[in-house]
Amino acid sequence: MLRIRLLWLVAIILTLSCRGPRPGTPKNLPPPLMSTSVGPGDIFEVYVAGEKDIPKEFRVQPDGSIDFPYLNRVVVAGLEPQEIVDVIRKRLVAAGVLRDPQVTLVVKQYNSKKVIVIGQLQRPGSISWIDGMKLVDVISAAGGFTAIADSNHVILNRHLANGKIITVVVSVDAITDGAQADVPLQAGDTIKVESRAF
């Protein structure tokens, strides 16, 4: 019985030692560049007050436009949601459809903006970025870690505005344990999860 307990204790110590020390909060990671402009494949909903016959959901076509009732083609690629609202309002007024339309827009899915996850995750691949997305959100969306993932040393690559790439190591264990804050992501970030060293 004592021998079994000693073997368990050795196994636990070896497991903990394989994980190594947790990296601290990344100091040199700049805040994410927040761009909520839409692109091809993105889906958004438009609400025009009092107009029940206007479809609600629109997908940006490969040429960057949508087909909007009464207006035909409206080019929206590269525009922020509020800019799209302004374009639709102005064109509805100019076409004589409505005098003072109240228009609101909600982006449902940014298919043109992705976060890439590779390595030891259940479902690696690309995940549609949403405003406010954080590292733990992406790990969850990818199905979580595999049994051999090194969740204590997750590599994050971020493209900067000047074209450079910065790489940091983040401990998801520390985040989920509440020891450090989750990391906000930007579209284009790549997350790599390697295997633990045994």
Overall average pLDDT of the 157-183 stretch: 93
- pLDDT above 50: residue 15: no
Given pLDDT bands bounded at 50, 70 and 90, which one contains residue 8?
very low
- Alpha-carbon gap, residue 103 to 76, rounded angstroms: 15
Share of the chain above pLDDT 90, in %: 72
**pTM of the predicted structure, to 2 decimals:** 0.71
Please list, in sequence order, all residues whose beta carbon lies within 8 angstroms of the beta carbon of residue 39, skipping any fewer than 6 positions away.
60, 64, 77, 78, 110, 112, 113
Q: What pLDDT, in 10s, does the model give residues 76-99?
A: 999 999 999 999 999 999 999 999
Contact indicator for 116, 156 with CB cutoff of 8 Å: no
Looking at residue 3, what is its pLDDT? 52
Which residues in 120-164 belong to E strands, given as ranges? 125-129, 149-159
List, in order of start, the domains of the chain with CATH numbers.
43-109 (3.30.1950.10)
Checking if the pLDDT of 24 tops 80, the result is no
Q: Which whole number is the average pLDDT over 149-167?
A: 93
Q: What is the pLDDT of residue 142?
A: 97
